[in-house]
Structure 1
Amino acid sequence: MRWMKHACLIAAFTAIAGAATAAPRYVLELFTSQGCSSCPPADELLAKLADDPQFLALSLPVDYWDRLGWKDTFAKHAFTERQYAYARIRGDGQVYTPQVVVNGSEHANGANRRAIDASAETTTPPQLPVSVKRSGDEIEVTVGATGSGSPRATVVLLPYLGSRAVAIGRGENARRKIAYTNIVREIIPVGEWSGAGASFKAKLANDQGYDGVVVLVQEGTPANPGAILGTALLPLHGPRA
């Protein structure tokens, strides 16, 4: 089971290996927390959406509910900062859990499939050609060209864990065991893109046990993220029995 969602995420990106399958139309970033009683339905829904090739579904656990009696074992303050940055850029100031941000531009209640679909339909799917491969201990990313007039964008790597279950001992979800899907572990900027074809290289820590890495080409900067222009995925481990 821990590898199932990882395999689905890989299947959604068979275009990277040279097949003609289209890349996902919607990047979903679920801001969730093990300390939030409203989040388990959203975590479950995200796992189902990860089976749908039109979605690239990611979990970004935040740390602002750690004060409720349970410290989220996956939370990173960088994910909290990213969620607040999205709200600032959108101008609505809405920060909550469970919140899904779609294609870096719209948001919805992460437990409400209809709301997610409605938000998704108002966004522009990522269309910029992006490829990624591993060369020795380096990750190599290639981004296509669109010509002059392209917005300033940042290329970021999001290494992730495919699927993990957590037994929660205290707080609002005490005594529950909850499965999390495609859990982002870092946000790693690797360079800027401004319309011309470009290549980038980066290294990942070898001892973190990541299952794969997602590449996003995203308008703005990591501190001020905007619309997602392109995406690609590199599996780092194959399915295990």
Structure 2
Amino acid sequence: MASRLTLTLAALGLSALLHPAAADPARAVVELFTSQGCSSCPPADALLAEYSRQPDIVALSLPVNYWDYLGWKDTLAHVAFTERQKAYAHSRKDRQVFTPQMIVNGKKSSIGSDRAEIERAIQATTKGRSALPVAITLSEHNGTLSIAVEETPDTTHRDAEIWVLPVLKSQTVPIERGENRGKTITYANVVRGLNRIGEWHGGSARFEVPLETARKGGDAYVVLLQSTDAERPGVILGAAKGPGF
């Protein structure tokens, strides 16, 4: 006859299967604008890799292309990432664009290798909250990603957009020329595309996108709910990591 302890453990195991543990809610999104041709970027790339291992942080690497003329063309860069970085600068009205630059929660700019400055930016943008203000739940079924955005009682959260970003979780690049010549650098959570899925206006909402789109060029994906400011990226209201992180 099975002991009471055995039966209890079995019941707990069955419960875990039926009700899997929810993912840690995202507390912050950190976006590193970096370049393989930037000699000061490797320490920031290593720091982003550390952040990528924190369950409540969505860490993203967005390689830019404006240092390609220094002698090495960044093999992961995309002009859309350069445009996003410049749009952030216009939204902040400081026009500061540099590498390595970390943007925290779509709002604060920090030197990408300065851990203390980044931590202060996280604290300033979360205002003591343990999670971003709008909850996002992801599910996959029959080749489709479903994105559920919860209604929030905070009436200031309106007019945002849902974005799906394919991500390559790790990519090692030997750099043969330029300022980082001879180095081999491993990049974490490299964004491979920016896909705008739809608009959100404050209530509960559901969006769907083919998984093929969500993962195109990568092996994972993240979802961002981001406010807009004159068609420029603004404060990030919610974020979620897809399976595999």
> TM-score when scaled to structure 2?
0.84
CA drift of 1:206 comes to 8.8
Instruction: State how 1:68-87 maps to structure 2 within 5 Å.
Output: 68-87=70-89
Query: SS of the counterpart of 1:210?
Result: coil
CA–CA distance in 2 between the matches of 1:42 and 1:142?
Answer: 33
1:19 correspondence with 2:21 = yes
CA drift of 1:32 comes to 0.3
Quote the residue 2:59 is aligned against: 57
Residues 189-218 of structure 1 deviation map (CA, whole Å, 9 limit, x = unaligned): 000000111111112349845221100000
Larger Rg: 2
CA–CA distance in 2 between the matches of 1:39 and 1:54?
Answer: 24
8 Å CA contact 1:166–1:178 kept in 2: the answer is yes
Q: Percent identity?
A: 45
Q: Choose from 91, 94, 101 the match for 2:93.
A: 91
CA drift of 1:220 comes to 0.9
8 Å CA contact 2:91–2:229 kept in 1: the answer is no
* Structure 2: stretches of 5+ with no match in the other structure: 1-18
Instruction: State how 1:65-214 maps to structure 2 within 5 Å.
Output: 65-124=67-126, 125-146=131-152, 149-203=156-210, 204-205=212-213, 208=216, 210-214=218-222
CA drift of 1:223 comes to 4.3
Query: SS of the counterpart of 2:103?
Result: strand
Greater shift after overlay, 132-141 or 34-43? 132-141
* Structure 1: stretches of 5+ with no match in the other structure: 1-16
CA–CA distance in 2 between the matches of 1:83 and 1:18?
Answer: 37
CA–CA distance in 1 between the matches of 2:177 and 2:70?
Answer: 9
CA drift of 1:83 comes to 0.5
CA drift of 1:70 comes to 0.9
Residues 28-84 of structure 1 deviation map (CA, whole Å, 9 limit, x = unaligned): 000000010110010011111222233221100011111111111110100001100
Query: SS of the counterpart of 1:172?
Result: coil
CA–CA distance in 1 between the matches of 2:93 and 2:215?
Answer: 39
Aligned length: 221
Aligned-residue CA RMSD (Å): 2.0
